[in-house]
Amino acid sequence: MSIIADENTRLVVQGITGNEGSFHTRRCIQYGTQVVAGVTPGKGGTMFDDTIPVFNRVEEAVKETGANASLIFVPPAFAADAILEAADAGLALAVCITEGIPTLDMVAVLRYLEGKSTRLIGPNCPGIISPPARCKIGIMPGDIHHPGSIGVVSRSGTLTYEAVAQLTELGLGQSTCIGIGGDPTPGTDFIPVLRLFEKDPDTEAVVLIGEIGGSMEQEAAEVIKNEMTKPVVAFVVGATAPPGRRMGHAGAIISGASGTAKAKLEALQAAGATIAPSPAEIGLTLREVLKGRG
């Protein structure tokens, strides 16, 4: 089993006819994801690659195809609206890949999502993949993943691929891998993902990858300490980053004492997570932890 994305996921792609949207839709289908619909306002009634119906609105797509999850490739200026439309249509899951959505747009979106049934992953993220269910909702390279029992949650994109590749090389497959995104206010942060992994009978251990900036890792540490029985291996990047400078990701900026890699690693370690000594040893560290448990 996996969390959030699985065999029952029926995907609608918002922005399916754009460059990125069409490229990654094909990759998701190739991997095994059930893509049932696309949405591009103005292109309703056409077909994508002769097989997938395109609609003008998400609501219509849901009604006609039974879609229950959305993957969003919409430019930053219109992405907040796309997320709101997905939530309004009652989808259980919206995964937003778009980078560069204004923070204040996201503040309004996140407030609207409170009390709604839609889980938002992202924005500015690689998405989510559940190898055992052959379900990929995102832009990650599918072939580095392998079905198994390790849950991965990360604020990064390519660094997540790096960690996953290390795991796969050591024969440690994954239950679900989630990139929560590099923005300061992600739709889903570490905490709900940790709780879902803890509950999932097929997840044996968790890899958590944090970054400088904010205090999301410290909040995750509280949950690890108080609620997690499964082992957690953690790493936080940005030990060499200067304060006050945005390191690519909008959220990766040290603006207070809690924002440093050191403060985050200390909190995670104090909560019982095992810290990988370097980003090259995330997989090895997890293997040692699993060995130690027998």
* Distance from chain centroid for Cα 236: 17
Distance set, CA 47 to CA 43, 51, 58, 59, 286 (Å): 9, 6, 15, 17, 45
The smaller minimum CB distance to other proteins, of residues 160 and 176, is found at 160
Does 107 help bind other proteins (rule: CB under 8 A)? yes
Residues contacting other proteins: total by CB under 8 A: 63
C-alpha span between 184 and 190 (Å, rounded): 13
Q: How many residues does the chain have?
A: 294
Q: Please tell me which residue in 24, 145, 146, 249 is annotated as part of the active site.
A: 249
Distance set, CA 211 to CA 45, 49, 160, 259 (Å): 43, 39, 12, 9
Does 139 help bind other proteins (rule: CB under 8 A)? yes
Taking CB under 8 A as the rule, which mask of x and - marks residues 48-87 in contact with other proteins?
A: ----------------------------xx----------
The smaller minimum CB distance to other proteins, of residues 32 and 279, is found at 279
Taking CB under 8 A as the rule, which mask of x and - marks residues 142-181 in contact with other proteins?
A: --x---------xxxxxxxxx--x----------------
The smaller minimum CB distance to other proteins, of residues 66 and 100, is found at 100
The smaller minimum CB distance to other proteins, of residues 51 and 240, is found at 240
What is the footprint of other proteins within residues 222-281 (CB under 8 A)?
235, 237-242, 244-252, 256-257, 261, 277-281
Applying CB under 8 A, the residues found at the interface with other proteins are 20, 76-77, 100-104, 106-108, 110-111, 126, 139-141, 144, 154-162, 165, 182, 184-185, 209, 211-216, 219, 235, 237-242, 244-252, 256-257, 261, 277-281
Catalytic residues: 249
